[in-house]
Structure 1
Amino acid sequence: MEHHGQLHRKINHMWDLVVMQAREQLRAAKQRRKGDRLVVACQEQTYWLVHRPPPGVPSVLEQAPERGSCTARRVLMNADFYKREIECCRRALGRTRVKSSVSLEAYLKFSNQHRPHDPIMSGCLPSNPWITDDDTYWAMNAPRVAEPTQLRVERWAFSFQELLQDPVGRAHFMDFLRKEFSAENLSFWEACKELRHGGQAQVPALVDAVYQQFLAPGAARWVNIDSQTMERTLEGLRRPHRYVLDAAQLHIYMLMKKDSYPRFLKSDMYKALLAEAVIPPETKRRVFPFMWKPRRSSPSPALLPASASGDCAAAPGGPGGGPGEA
């Protein structure tokens, strides 16, 4: 009864507060002019029209939420329940997980690898075109350049996707594949990419052209794919669409990634490109304050130790005493 009385008094206090606020709002509304009252009423109606729930969703303003039943959600603790729990725990234990130390080490390696290539963390060479009138940075890192920069060539070794995304890197990789008599793999990958992003009206003609050039028996630039992928591709050619060659493209992509790409990074061609790459000289100091080296300054007198402050106070008087001494 004591707790019930406390709850009753608390609810009464809250209700008194609500009534008082309502009376104050009513008094303020009566004191408003007629035009202001119309504006407030229109604003309130507009608010509820905009924020009303979508059709089919219950509105708490029209009906109260139904009280949940504890008996309906009660779980029967029998043998079957515990068997399901044990099986769920076994599957959770067998699930592969990555240790936090391994993931943090990979994240640290990724950060250290990409830090020299981040314009914010390492600055732009030869200068920052966003704060200067020199646009040499954009000219040297254009999609098509005669001589790539050293940082650009280094990024090709990060991943195979980095190499294919760079038009200059893809062109040099094509030259390497021509020397190994496997340039048709990259040409097939480019043709599939063009098919995926081409117009819908040209899809049947492009699919037939790619098939006749790379996949048909006796094709001029035949690519080697496994029988299962070939069967899936031939089945999809009956009703050609822009994604019909995705399986064959993925097979050739993995073949180049695991076989041709590592040999390209170890080849003399890539080493020569890395040695002959352009290193732009720095013409303007970095402007970001967290990249500057901290300047050395004298310590503040307020931070000096007590002994040092005492020595400084005694220094003006000197060993012969202050001006008060005779």
Structure 2
Amino acid sequence: MCQGLAELPIACLERAKEFKTRLGILLHKSELAHGIGAAGKLQLGSRRRDSSREVLEWRESFDQLLKSKNGVTAFHTFLKTEFSEENLDFWLACEDFKKTRSKTKLASKANRIFEEFVQSEAPREAKTRTLMEKDSYPRFLKSASYQDMTKQATSRSINKRLHT
């Protein structure tokens, strides 16, 4: 890739990042096929009644989405399609770190978070929760996948009221 002394280190880094992005696209294809249904849309979980209410609550706030295991899963799948799931992974790792009580595990987890997400040129260098909330979350709410989930949830809710 970077041959000769005449090339600037910055050019080498740019090429490496471009290669990393292209490689990431190939690696994510199989993961995406697992998380997305045949029609190319996210699918609701198996808990139908609770899922319907949950899906509709996600649009109330970013915190509501993050409180829901299904919401985090759906959002993570969406972020994979945008190649930005490292933001959520970083936030989840930090949340897990905050819950850790063992000093030995704290040091180990802190080191892993730093090496994976924080240090310069980390393999999954991440931004903050704010970036997700202000950027990715609004796009998730507007996405066809989430719109389909809300239609399914609303339909189930209406059918449930009619049969009660």
Partner SS, residue 141 of structure 2: helix
Measure the CA separation in 2 of the matches of 1:172 and 1:146.
13
- Number of equivalences: 115
**Ranges in structure 1 where 5+ consecutive residues have no aligned partner:** 1-143, 225-251, 286-326
1:77-120 superposed Cα distances (whole Å, 9 cap, x missing partner)? xxxxxxxxxxxxxxxxxxxxxxxxxxxxxxxxxxxxxxxxxxxx
Match of 2:146 in 1: 270
User: Residue 169 and residue 217 in structure 1: after superposition, are their counterparts in 2 closer, same or farther (change >3 A)?
Assistant: same
Between 1 and 2, higher relative CO (CA 8 Å, sep ≥ 6) is seen in 2
Instruction: State the partner residue of 1:215.
Output: 118
Alignment pair present for 1:175 and 2:77: yes
1:287-298 aligned at under 5 Å gives the runs none
Distance 1:268 1:284, change over 3 A: closer
Cα distance 1:283–1:266, how it changes in 2: closer, same or farther (>3 A)? closer
Spell out the pairing of 1:49-68 with structure 2 (5 A cutoff). none
Tell whether 2:160 aligns with 1:281: yes
Report whether the alignment pairs 1:198 with 2:74.
Answer: no
Deviation at 1:284, TM superposition (A): 8.6
The structure with more radius of gyration = 1
Residues 258-281 of structure 1: CA deviation (Å, up to 9, x unaligned): 111111111101011112334362
Q: Aligned to 1:146, which of 46, 61, 67?
A: 46
In the alignment, which residue of structure 2 is the partner of 1:300? none
User: Residues 174 and 218 (structure 1 numbering): CA distance in 2 closer, same or farther, change over 3 Å?
Assistant: same
What is the alpha-carbon distance in structure 2 between the residues aligned to residue 154 and residue 283 of structure 1? 19
Cα distance in structure 1, aligned partners of 2:150 and 2:83: 23
Identity %: 32
Distance 2:163 2:90 in 1: 45
Instruction: Decide which of 120, 132, 149 is 1:256's aligned counterpart.
Output: 132
- In structure 2, relative to structure 1, the CA distance for the partners of 1:180 and 1:206 (3 Å cut) is same
Query: SS of 2:149's equivalent?
Result: helix
* Structure 2: gaps (5+ residues): 1-43
Q: In structure 2, what residue type is equivalent to 1:154?
A: L
Question: What is the Cα deviation at residue 255 of structure 1?
Answer: 1.0
CA displacement 1:9-58 (0-9 Å, x = unmatched): xxxxxxxxxxxxxxxxxxxxxxxxxxxxxxxxxxxxxxxxxxxxxxxxxx
- 1:216 offset after TM fit, Å? 1.6
Counterpart amino acid of residue 253 in structure 1: R
Q: Which has the higher helix share?
A: 2
- Residue deviations 1:275-324 (CA, integer Å, cap 9, x gap): 23343625996xxxxxxxxxxxxxxxxxxxxxxxxxxxxxxxxxxxxxxx
Provide the rounded CA distance (Å) in 2 between the counterparts of 1:146 and 1:184: 26
